[in-house]
Structure 1
């Protein structure tokens, strides 16, 4: 197998339940009311990630997103992979090797961070990706790249962003995103009570929000002393001057 060096992250925004239309009928999805009409865009995100993993033999595709609905234990990540398989976006043989499921992220910061850690954990050499590609909405580019990728310390000159917006995107949707972006500007790692509470509300099934299995694994990853632990056991990275993340070297 060719040594991977490219992490492709597709951020989850809904849960595909399966059905005869393979996701082309919105009734086959669990989505919030304000996302009505957006499922074709979610499918375009999945297809964009699949296109990269099909064209770049050194890429690893990660679908990222936890189970966030009381109706099902199915995660956003698993449902995206199911949709890709139902639509023949990539060969089933890639699943588990070059297509991975990150099933713990409850917001966009953790789409990035948990995916990086999963990539590292899944490779025998325990190396970090040389570059990443993030697939999400175009209007979230600033938050994901200049916000989250910068906050976790991944070099921005090694980040590619593939942005696909819903065709019916409204100005108020972008304004709402800017409000959220402002919260992240004040709190780049999402450790504030406000952003923590949002994750807790989404964590219907009590999925662990610790970055690593234990202190030994954090040390092996090169992140010992760089982790903040909240009262509920969830973790984010610490932010301090002079800190160099292992994936930045």
Structure 2
């Protein structure tokens, strides 16, 4: 039985097998995507030629440290592949993301990618989304009103704070409202309702965006979920 740390590392390193020479890659954010960036950096130092964009300032800093060549977004029409993590995912590859605060940039990057591969440890898989609080990025102006609107959707809302007790501010200068629903039985409907609220920039429900999820398991293997709901055990690629 392997630790959660190793499950993340196993999943992330498996995903990097899909990275090929000449690709333009999206680099995700979070504790599992971190290991993918480390592995891609190792591959680049071994001679792999790619270009990448990062979904957060933290991932950009790590990529630079690892020697991964970054390309300005204005020079990219589409990405070949993005590897990113998730805070929760179900068997239909519906996701909750944003625990790391980068959900807006992650969603923009995912939308402009030919393929989105999610990496996670087995503790992130659920039968129904909602146990993890749903992050919603909101503008600072009249944020109290936006919180009121979110609360009317049936959740409790807490503005994310930094360890020093000040408000957490995203790389885009906004706040994060963490919305505790406990259960989200109809994520598509909730996605639409939250997206329609004035003051909301973006939310952490990623519906119909992931093509594949690579799940690191406690026995040291990986489980692969596809967007068509088929599940494979330990294939290299399928």
TM-score normalized by the length of structure 1? 0.37
Relative to its length, the structure with more helix (as a share) is 1
Which has more strand, going by share of residues?
Answer: 2
